[in-house]
A and B are shown apart, each in its own frame.
Chain A
Amino acid sequence: DSGVTQTPKHLITATGQRVTLRCSPRSGDLSVYWYQQSLDQGLQFLIQYYNGEERAKGNILERFSAQQFPDLHSELNLSSLELGDSALYFCASSGPGEQYFGPGTRLTVT
């Protein structure tokens, strides 16, 4: 158990819909990272927050947004969903020299 929690574990929704994925970092970690993993793309960095502020942005679509709240949990919002958004979404949090991943949310868009 990495100490990073993610909910829900599975999400099935239709094209055009909007979903919210939630992540709680390890106790004491200020950074939260979001990654997308699909079969053909591997693990792709989406966005990082540090203590409530956006710190780095990867290839995140404009339909996707995220935020980190004062209690340090983070939410990833995915809107206008397309079939190609089906993937595993991972959250990670980091301490010095280490980055720990949560169990992931499997999103299926039908």
Chain B
Amino acid sequence: EDQVTQSPEALRLQEGESSSLNCSYTVSGLRGLFWYRQDPGKGPEFLFTLYSAGEEKEKERLKATLTKKESFLHITAPKPEDSATYLCAVEGVHDYKLSFGAGTTVTVRA
């Protein structure tokens, strides 16, 4: 069974203080690794899909990277509006579903 572990559970940052979130995964054949942002009570908002080790994707202050065992979401110079829960998920080649981690809740203080 696919497994996804995210760390840390919570992260408190000062505005402008860059940091990274970790997503470790085990899957028998990776079809894709997904990153989402979720605000309280709202649906997850799609950010990135990564397919193979070495791949990187960027969107505004966010950059996602992928290795064979883990993915990192780097937040550069965060702003208070970056406060949210960031979810990581994997889809295996034998699956038709996403397996999610528990998420990292990021709070950015002005």
Contact = CB atoms under 8 A, between A and B. Distances in A.
Interface of A: 2, 4, 31, 33, 42-45, 48, 50, 55-56, 58, 88, 90, 97-104, 106
B45 A97 contact: no
Contacts of B86: none
Contact of A103 (B42, B95, B102): B42
Interface of B: 32, 34, 36, 41-46, 49, 51, 87, 89, 95-103
Nearest to B103: A42
Contact of A102 (B34, B43, B49): B43
Given A97-B51, A99-B46, A100-B46, A56 B96 contact: yes
A87 to B, nearest CB: 12
A4 B42 CA distance: 13
A72 to B, nearest CB: 16
A97 B96 contact: no
Interface centre among B43, B45, B100, B103 (most CB of A within 10 A): B43
